[in-house]
Structure 1
Amino acid sequence: MLTRYILPLLGLIAFAFAVQQMTQAQQKTPPAVPPVEPAKSPFAKQLAGSGIIEPETENISIGTNLPGIVERVNVKVGDMVRPGVPLFRLDDRQLNAELVVRKAFLENAQATLEKLNNAPRPEELPPLRAKVAEMVANLDDQTKQLTRLQRLGAAASEDELTRREAGVAVAKAQLERAKADLALQEAGSWKFDRLVSQSAVKQAQAQVEQTGIELTRLTVKAPQLKWDATNSASDATEYKVLQVNVRPGEFVGTVQGQALIVLGYIGKLHVRVDIDENDIGRFRPNLPGFAQPRGNPHVKFPISFVRVEPYVIPKKSLTGLNTERVDTRVLQVIYRIESADLALYVGQQMEVFLNAAEGK
């Protein structure tokens, strides 16, 4: 009796479960709603590209002229700095010690030149004059002895006569030497010796100045920038510190591309747009358009053309779309964001749309 009713009931339940599962499997999954609505262009004919927000002066990557240990950092992120303001300084103890040594070399070279310019010393001449007088008296004595010997005639031996003649010759040579020494001292220093000494002074001065310049280069300052007439940043007076990648006590070197501090004038933000090489033929500098921040398609910023960088480069900022290739090349175009209320940050990605239908 129990088996007669339970087995059909179980079969009915299993059949109903199978029908339910098949019905659910055949239903279509509703399309997923993206968390953020993608940006859309209102233009019938358009040029679109991804862009990066940058300062009006572009990013100014500050490095160091010399390697060394950072002694202090004078700025922090968000500070406004004027051109010429110290940003950070390296340890200067070694160069200060070197400057002391080079100043000592300079003083030595200057003293040597001064000695040559004031030669001879007054105290050096009297001994030399006395030496000349002594040699004159010695020559006179030797001459008189030779004369007396010659008067003896045959009574004088030939050997004695020879020695007296040699004594006179030696006395004459000694007198000439004493006179030459006196004349050399009275003439003063040789002009070529003075020229050599002057060159040594100049070399020492140049080394002192070189070390002084190296000391000033240890202090890295905000650069003095000049702008042409077409750049609206010609009135830039302050730059914002966008990034600080250096700390006191760190060793920094002259590594190419190492940005220790990043500055930028952000009076008007720019957006650097990558135009795909396939769309370059449709691009015109006067195309109107707008820019939208990534993730906020409801906000639009009007843009105006600034310049084209006429060098097509490989695309470096990939957005992750399947249509992008690593070997894609782009033309970079700079636009100014014409808006006073900017909730934008340097380095932020933007979607840029240009109305290609209005280009001439």
Structure 2
Amino acid sequence: MIQRGAMLLVAVLMIVGGAVWLRANAVSKIKTPTKAVAPVAAPPPAVAAKGVAPADAAPAWVAAPGRVEPLSEEMRLGFDIAGKLAEVSVEEGDSVQYGQIVARLAADEFAARVDAAEQVLAAREAALAKVLAGARDMERQEAKAAVAEARTVAEVARIEHGRRRQLLGKEVLSREEADRAEREYKVATERLDAARQRFRLVNDPSREEDVKRAMAEAAEARARLAEAQALAAKAVIRSPIDGVVLRKHRRAGEMVSVSFDTPVVTVGDIARLRVRADVDERDISRIKPGQNAILMAEAYGERQFTGVVSRVSKILGKKNIRTDDPAEKNDTRILETLIDLDGPGELPVGLRLDVFIITGEGGEKTLPAYRP
């Protein structure tokens, strides 16, 4: 028991002694002054040699994805009215001329309406011409002859009436005969007046109200014809440009609607091409019209195409061109930039390109190596 107690006492003393030693060592470290270290002067900034850009300077070009399109842009042609396609007279790759019919709806009733309106207009215009011309020369001559005839009859009746009045005064003629002669004279006089009125009516120009009415009826018929022709024109699609059929979306026999987008063909003028590039919003301050651009496509290997920036949009928008990079950000804001390609259009419409817009002197010499 005595040995066991002595061992416990020795252990306790060893623990207390170790704690005291650790505390004294820590206090000595705190109170020991540290040696002052003189600040090291920062190395002087590297001065760029004349004509050599610093290593961290922005490149003299701006990279952006682009897509080939016709200079006229892609025109998706459709109908203004619903119906069934009777004919699509072009195929993809066909050349079309301005005004050429490329598709037609099955709408024979429109042609019938045009024919009916043309007939009505012809009748109204004939009536107007008749009113403006007045009576024909034969009608005038007939009315004039009727006046002369009535004048002769009236003159004979007047003479006969005067003679019979003289005979009545001499009591040679009965009163009844004298009254008959007087009636015949009055009738002849009235017929002469009627013939004169008839001649004035035939010989005088048409009344103003008759002319206005005939003109209004002709104008209404002309408007009906224009309406029928406009409706018939909606049943056909004509090419708005000289170009090429890029895509044929519908076939004969299919239905088209105006409730949703149903283009029949897409046309474009591919004699000259341009590229629509999506410039990132971080680089828009370095882009302006007139800058040169170098363009490359995977399909053409290391071959380079050239162009000039023709227009820069004035409003930021969403990305139009998507790449196959899974790390691509889709919420980036871009500025559309149009680049006119040099030379004839030999690239297919819709081809994706890598666009490098030269923003500084010698930028084309510092382009990154292109690995298609």
Number of matched pairs: 292
How far apart are residue 333 of structure 1 and its match? Answer: 2.8
- Secondary structure of residue in 2 paired with 1:105: helix
**Equivalent residue for 1:325?**
331
Q: 1:270 aligns with which of 270, 274, 281?
A: 274
User: 3-state DSSP class of the match of 2:134?
Assistant: helix
Task: Read off the aligned partner of 2:291 and give its amino acid letter.
Answer: N
Asked whether the equivalents of residues 241 and 269 of structure 2 are also in contact (C-alpha less than 8 Å), the reply is no
The CA deviation at 1:305 is: 1.6
**What's the counterpart of residue 120 of structure 2?**
105
The answer as to whether partners of 2:246 and 2:266 remain within 8 angstroms in 1 is: yes
Residue equivalent to 1:242: 246
What SS is found at the alignment partner of 2:247? Answer: strand
1:215-234 equivalent positions in 2, closer than 5 A: 218-224=235-241
Q: Tell me if the contact between 1:61 and 1:262 (Cα under 8 Å) persists in the aligned partners.
A: yes
1:309 counterpart (305, 312, 317) = 312
Secondary structure, aligned partner of 1:289: strand
> Unmatched 5+ residue regions in structure 1?
1-42, 157-164, 226-238
Q: Aligned-pair distance for 1:74?
A: 0.7
Indicate the residue corresponding to 2:366 in structure 1: none
Shift of 1:291: 3.1
State the match for 1:50 in structure 2.
65
Which residue number corresponds to residue 116 of structure 1? 134
Superposed CA offset, 1:44-103 (max 9, x none): 554222222212332133344666543211111222334444312234522322233233
Deviation sequence 1:132-152 (CA, Å, 0-9, x none): 666666777788889999999
How far apart are the structure 2 equivalents of 1:246 and 1:329? 34
Note closer, same or farther for the CA distance 1:139–1:335 as it changes in structure 2 (3 Å cut). Answer: same
SS in 2 for 1:314: coil
Partner SS, residue 295 of structure 2: strand
From 348, 352, 356, the equivalent of 1:349 is 352
Q: Equivalents in 2 of 1:264, 1:270: separation in Å?
A: 12
Which stretch shifts more, 274-283 or 205-214?
205-214
Q: Which residue identity does 2:240 align to in structure 1? A: P
Q: How many Å separate the matches in 2 of 1:142 and 1:251?
A: 89
User: Counterparts of 1:37-186 in structure 2 under 5 Å?
Assistant: 44=59, 46-64=61-79, 69-91=84-106, 93-112=108-127, 113-114=129-130, 116-118=134-136, 121=139, 130=149, 175-185=192-202
Deviation at 1:254, TM superposition (A): 6.9
Q: 1:292 aligns with which of 297, 305, 310?
A: 297
CA drift at 1:358: 3.5
Percentage identity across aligned positions?
A: 20
Q: Report the TM-score, using the length of structure 1 for normalisation.
A: 0.59
Contact 1:142 1:171 in 2 (8 A): no
Backbone CA RMSD of aligned residues: 4.9
Bigger relative CO (Cα 8 Å, ≥ 6 apart): 1
| In 2: Cα distance, 1:335 partner to 1:87 partner | 29
Distance 1:89 1:108, change over 3 A: same
Preserved CA contact (<8 Å) 2:87 2:252: yes
Q: Please, which runs of 5 or more residues in structure 2 have no aligned partner?
A: 1-57, 176-181, 364-372
TM-score, with structure 2 as normaliser: 0.57
Structure 1 pair 221–359 and aligned structure 2 pair: CA distance change class (3 A): farther
Change in 2 beyond 3 A, CA 1:255/1:171: same
Within 2, Cα distance between the matches of 1:243 and 1:68?
21
Structure-2 change in CA distance of 1:324 and 1:149 (3 Å): farther
Q: 1:306 to 1:118 in 2, by over 3 A?
A: farther
Residues 60 and 117 of structure 1: CA distance in aligned 2, closer, same or farther (over 3 Å):
farther
- 1:308 corresponds to which letter in structure 2? R
